[in-house]
Amino acid sequence: MTSKVIYTGELRTTCIHIASGSEYITDAPKDNHGLGQAFSPTDTVATGLANCMLTVMGIKARSLGIDITNTTAEVTKTMASAPRRISGIKVHVKMPMGIPEEHRSILEKTANTCPVIYSIHPDIEKDISFQWEF
């Protein structure tokens, strides 16, 4: 088992990672009857894409002998209705100064081939961009 999710009422869940015991909560968004006080389930999907991109980039960077500490990803999720679903995910990755030019395309390709990007339905529009040397 990977995780356990408990519905705690008021459109909120508590999510527990079995191996580590770490937890996070989700809340229904305000535009869907919730309080919007935490990540919504669809927020976690969109954010999971950025988590995965940065993780595999970190693995690749380590093998290249470079440090990408302080890299950030800004995530924007777009919803559609009928049925309500994620219609788009925009991820803007900001890379710190000092990444050699010869490694930039390798890191971009690594990010764009992460497991989560392959797991997201092809009908969901993905807009991935990189900003080097912020």
pLDDT at residue 12, rounded to an integer:
97
- Grouping H, G, I as helix, E, B as strand and the rest as coil, residue 28 is coil
Cβ count within 10 A of residue 49? 25
Degrees, nearest 5: CA angle 122-124-129: 100
Residues 6 or more apart in contact with residue 6 via CB below 8 angstroms: 13, 14, 16
Residues 6 or more apart in contact with residue 119 via CB below 8 angstroms: none
pLDDT at residue 134, rounded to an integer:
72
Contacts 24+ apart (CB under 8 A), 6-15: 10/35, 11/35, 12/38, 13/41
In Å, what is the CA distance from 91 to each residue of 55, 107, 112, 113, 128?
A: 14, 15, 11, 14, 5
Residues of the chain with pLDDT under 50: none
pLDDT at residue 26, rounded to an integer:
98
pTM: 0.94
- The domains found in the chain, sorted by start residue, are 3-32 (no CATH), 41-132 (3.30.300.20)
pLDDT at residue 5, rounded to an integer:
98
